Amino acid sequence: MIILAFFLSFYPLKFEAPVTSTFMEARSLHFHTGIDFSTGGRCGVPVYSPVNGYVVRIKVSYIGMGKAIYIRDSTQKVYVFAHLSGFSGPLDSIVRERQLRTTEYTQDLWFEPGMISVKKGELIGYSGKSGYGPPHLHFEVRRGFEIALNPLPFLGIRDTIPPEIKFIDVVPLTSESYIDGLPVPRKVYLEDSTDTLFIEGDFGIEASAVDYVNNRSYETVPYSFKLLIDGDTLFSLRFDSLDFREFGLSRSLYRLEGRHYSGALIRLYPPDLRGVDSHPNWPGAAYENGDHLIEVVVSDLAGNERKFSIPYRIGAAKWKVDDFRWDFEEKGFAVKMTDSGCLLGLSPEKSVTFNGQPLEPLGESSEYRLFFLSEQGKAIIGDGMDREFLLAEVTPDSFFLPFGDFYLRARRGVALYPFFVFVMEEGDPPRIAGDLEVATGRLILLPERPPLRGKFEIGLRKIGGKDLCLFRINGDRAEFRGSSSKGYTEDFGVFAFARDTIPPELIRLIGTRRGLYGVIEDRGAGVDPFSLDVTCDGQWIPADYDPETGELSYRGLESGGHRIEIRVSDRAGNETGFSKYIVVK
């Protein structure tokens, strides 16, 4: 059972909303700088100021945090409320006047002290889903605009549920490192944590752990992590604050698996972050041959903790081979990326010639370690398939790699640390849904979640193709990554260029109570929200648009009939217009 003791005078909502995301969780390329409250799938829940102060900033955008309010108090702390559906009356009037005067939907308004004072408990806005994500309230506490603080201590939530450690990864860190005889990470679950691991070479520890702040339905990141070996603390981390200069360094701390952020692995060896306390010889601390003990301790803010212990031995020649987990598989040919290169895997019925050298399967799952830099390899599989691929080292320096019809580019500092990228080109175009004409084969890049702080550029080497857009292929869906024969991505996977010649479509447009509601969709490159231009009876209006759902809405129209004109284009540049007469109630 969990007991909640909310300081409701500080709480931004008037009910005990579940916390669904916590401070410094992993997002795609950055840390989560606040906490999220569930509003039960509803928009329009009243939001109140937790302090006396003044509005210092109001921001409005189709993307990011959508509609957001920033309030500063007498201690210079700044409180942020984001993804709102709207503002309270006085604030809404200020924003609406500026939008109409500039005929621009997006706004970034700053205010001097005393211009817009607010009192503790005063209504400031309404929860929503503007920007990205489902209906919820995003709440932050900052020290000025430079440091984000963990908001949970300010809320006084009393928690009796300890965190949960899902599993531990023991990770080889060099080409001479082996965990149970393999140069790949060894996943250890609680049920087999009493088995002794056999380790050679430098290794690191990564933990997948979750916490339940006030509802077991939502998994969040725990507050603190500690790593001990033989009782000595080698690493500790607490999520108290974040310097915004480190905002984009989430992948230096987290290793994301698949598409889910919940339970992402946290590296318990030194990332380049403030607030991390690490032994100078860790990872790779020298230990004598013999038996040792790894302990991972995970805690929440209330002090509830969970421990996970793993015995291991150094200097023993006992190897245990587990099933391989591959990043790419096709007809007996498989590749697994590691921190120090890649493994080529073969199934028993296949034979492969790699760069002229036959590689014959030796058992049910045979692996061949391939470590080379910027050298092109060619694998010929037994049934005659040719697979040319490249294993190139990416470093924090600038990077450029031509390969087949494509090229890869990264500016200096995009890579957090050196890693290998596996590159392979497939001639067959992918099959994808939507209004797209695929123009190239597939470009395959691994690992799926590379250690980046920015985005990789992928482009076409051949002349022409300016009308082609880059898409990341996810099953039969195409995710837009850029136009004009190049694009940008933070995630690797399968990519292709395609042509989109069909403009967006107006699915629905009706009058509502004092407003309008519509849906605009594009089954190709997607609607460009910043191209949207909506007029009512010839006058421009700042209509809201949700890029994720395609919903168009506006409130503030008089009852009666109105002529609505819409101009919009997709991200491939296809423009169109709609005109419709609606009746507002």
Q: Which of 280, 314, 348 delimits the end of a domain?
A: 314
What is the structure's pLDDT at 488? 98
Residues 73 and 23 in one domain: yes
CATH number at residue 121: 2.70.70.10
Residue 171: inside a domain: yes
Highest mean pLDDT among 7-16, 90-99, 456-465, 475-484: 90-99
How do residues 79-110 score in pLDDT, each as one tens digit? 999 999 999 999 999 999 999 999 999 999 99
**In this predicted model, which residue has the larger pLDDT, 262 or 517?**
517
Q: Are 11 and 18 in contact (CB under 8 A)?
A: no
What is the structure's pLDDT at 179? 85
Residue 8: inside a domain: no
3-state secondary structure of 241: strand
How do residues 530-562 score in pLDDT, each as one tens digit? 999 999 999 999 999 999 999 999 999 999 999
Residues 424 and 515 in one domain: no
Q: How many domains does the chain have?
A: 4
What is the structure's pLDDT at 329? 57
Residues 303 and 185 in one domain: yes
Residues 250 and 293 in one domain: yes
**What are the beta bridge partners of residue 25?**
none
Residues 524 and 401 in one domain: no
Q: Which of 452, 472, 499 delimits the end of a domain?
A: 499
Q: Which of 450, 476, 499 delimits the end of a domain?
A: 499
pLDDT range class, residue 261, cuts 50, 70, 90: low
Residue keyed to tokens 């598989």? 329
Residues 344 and 420 in one domain: yes
Residues 475 and 338 in one domain: yes
CATH number at residue 453: 2.60.220
How do residues 374-397 score in pLDDT, each as one tens digit? 344 555 444 445 566 777 888 899
How do residues 319-346 score in pLDDT, each as one tens digit? 444 444 455 555 455 666 555 455 666 5
What is the structure's pLDDT at 477? 87
**Mean pLDDT on 142-158:** 91
Helices (H), 68-223: 89-102, 152-155
Residue 1: inside a domain: no
Residue 308: inside a domain: yes
Residues 356 and 458 in one domain: yes
Q: For 160, phi and psi rounded to 5 degrees?
A: -115, 5
Residues 265 and 206 in one domain: yes
Residue keyed to tokens 């590159």? 423
What is the structure's pLDDT at 356? 53
- Which residues in 201-356 belong to E strands, given as ranges? 203-210, 224-229, 232-238, 241-243, 254-257, 260-267, 276-278, 290-299, 305-314, 328-330, 333-338, 341-346, 352-354
Q: Are 162 and 3 in contact (CB under 8 A)?
A: no
- The C-alpha atoms of residue 512 and residue 556 are separated, in whole angstroms, by 10
Residues 82 and 27 in one domain: yes
Candidates 155, 87, 145, 151; CA nearest to 118 is: 87
- The C-alpha atoms of residue 331 and residue 334 are separated, in whole angstroms, by 8
What is the structure's pLDDT at 279? 78
Residue 243: inside a domain: yes
DSSP per residue, 264-296: EEEE-S--S-TTEEE-TT-SS----SEEEEEEE
**Domain boundaries, position 542:** 505-584
Residue 241: inside a domain: yes
Residue 320: inside a domain: no
- Torsion region of 222: left, alpha or beta (phi above 0 gives left; psi -120 to 50 gives alpha): beta
Residues 462 and 564 in one domain: no
**Mean pLDDT on 39-53:** 96
CATH number at residue 260: 2.70.50
Residues 433 and 374 in one domain: yes
Q: Are 1 and 162 in contact (CB under 8 A)?
A: no
What is the structure's pLDDT at 448? 84
Q: C-alpha distances in angstroms, 459 versus 427, 468, 495, 558?
A: 16, 10, 10, 49
What is the structure's pLDDT at 157? 80
Q: Are 7 and 95 in contact (CB under 8 A)?
A: no
Residue 231: inside a domain: yes
- The C-alpha atoms of residue 528 and residue 532 are separated, in whole angstroms, by 7
What is the structure's pLDDT at 386? 57
CATH number at residue 522: 2.60.40.1220
Q: Are 375 and 391 in contact (CB under 8 A)?
A: yes
**In this predicted model, which residue has the larger pLDDT, 274 or 387?**
274
Average pLDDT score over the chain: 86
